[in-house]
Amino acid sequence: MTDVHQKLFPTTIIGSHPKPKWLNRVRNLNEEGEFSDERLQEAMDDAVRVVADEHERAGIDILGDGEMRREEMVEYFAHRIPGYDFNGPVRVWGNNYFEKPSVVDELGDPEPMLVDEFEFTRRAVSEGHGVKVPITGPYTLYDWSFDEVYGDKRELIMRLADIVNDEIRRLADAGAKYIQIDEPALSTRPEDIDLVVEATQRVVDGVTKEEHDNIERQIMHVCYGDYGAIYPRMLDIPVDQFSLEFVNQDFAHVEEFAEHDFDKEIGFGCVDIHDREVEAVGEIKSNIERAFGFVDPEQVWVNPDCGVKLLPRDVAFGKLENMSQAAEELREEYE
């Protein structure tokens, strides 16, 4: 498959995409015992094909499966890591809830969690597109869970880091090139930045692009919170790229980032996933160009602020399509 990251302004997604309504219906029927696990699996496979096609038609270079097999970014992994349990939903914002897990026993080693979904997605996409695999990072897995066993923050985070590292090693061995470590909790707990640096060193051990032939990029996605509280220390996190939210924060940290040598790539959030209005191509181009205030064009990847799963499908598609068109026009201007 072509290394599309070598072009100027590669376009990519963060992770989630709106699920087809029929998939949500199938999940409900499965939970009620009226739809078999085998038929649910077939439905999820079909949904991945649909989303991959939407990403391609929107012009995305490095795409994903839209997390069609996942319900929530912590819950999905906690269901698969021995030692976690669930006690009911927790309200997170508005009328949105998630099943907050609890660590009720020492964490065991899970079976492979993401390799099958990566391999299926790779088969579903056309030649010339890359596939990104998001995986929730150890700090967010810790912070968005209850700890009833360890009582030692660092010990639990490092155990989770080992589990995430094992999974990334399996992905890399299977041919995954683009790994995204999701750490949205990081910017909300700036006092733990040193722990995140240490944990990420363990997460990427043996699977940096210098150490593993298949890996092209280790990316960290961070949204919410105050980036200024973790900058420039965040540059010590051993990843190749930060994928960050900018539009929803009104580009608040662009000038601050310029105060230090931003020596990594930036996945520049250039469309707002909280707004149902599809931004015009010209507006998105202007948004992307704000990145040039602290990095060179060659360091810029183009992506939404965050996952688009809460948007209507037509709105999500429109935003991705216009984003890709904006990147293409900028490519013609800057090459």
Residue 24 falls inside a structural domain: no
- Other C-beta atoms lying within 10 Å of the C-beta of residue 135: 22
- pLDDT tens column, 136-148: 999 999 999 999 9
Q: Report whether pLDDT(90) > 80.
A: no
Residue 255 falls inside a structural domain: yes
Binding-site residues for Zn(2+), in ranges, read: 221, 223, 245, 306
CATH number (domain holding residue 78)? 3.20.20.210
Q: Of 164, 179, 162, which is closest to residue 218 (Cα–Cα)?
A: 179
Res 97: pLDDT: 74
Q: Report whether pLDDT(206) > 90.
A: yes
Residue 151 falls inside a structural domain: yes
Residue 29 falls inside a structural domain: no
- What's the burial of 165, exposed, middle or buried (CB within 10 Å: 0-12/13-18/19+)? buried
Per-residue confidence at 202, pLDDT binned at 50, 70, 90?
very high
- pLDDT tens column, 228-247: 999 999 999 999 999 999 99
- pLDDT tens column, 291-325: 999 999 999 999 999 999 999 999 999 999 999 99
Structural domain range at position 270:
4-19+55-334
pTM over 0.75: yes
Distance CA 98, CA 73 (A): 10
Distance CA 227, CA 305 (A): 14
Better-predicted residue by pLDDT, 17 or 71: 17
Per-residue confidence at 99, pLDDT binned at 50, 70, 90?
confident
Q: How many domains does the chain have?
A: 1
Q: Report whether pLDDT(2) > 60.
A: no
Residue 27 falls inside a structural domain: no
Q: What percent of the chain stands above pLDDT 70? A: 99
- Other C-beta atoms lying within 10 Å of the C-beta of residue 166: 15
Residue 45 falls inside a structural domain: no
Binding-site residues, in ranges, read: 221, 223, 245, 306
Distance CA 130, CA 3 (A): 7
Long-range contacts: 120-124, Cβ < 8 Å, 24+? 120/45, 120/48, 120/65, 121/48, 121/52, 121/64, 121/65, 122/1, 122/175, 124/48, 124/49, 124/52, 124/65
Residue 142 falls inside a structural domain: yes
Residue 42 falls inside a structural domain: no
Residues 6+ apart with CB under 8 A from 74: 98, 100, 101, 136, 140, 141, 144, 145
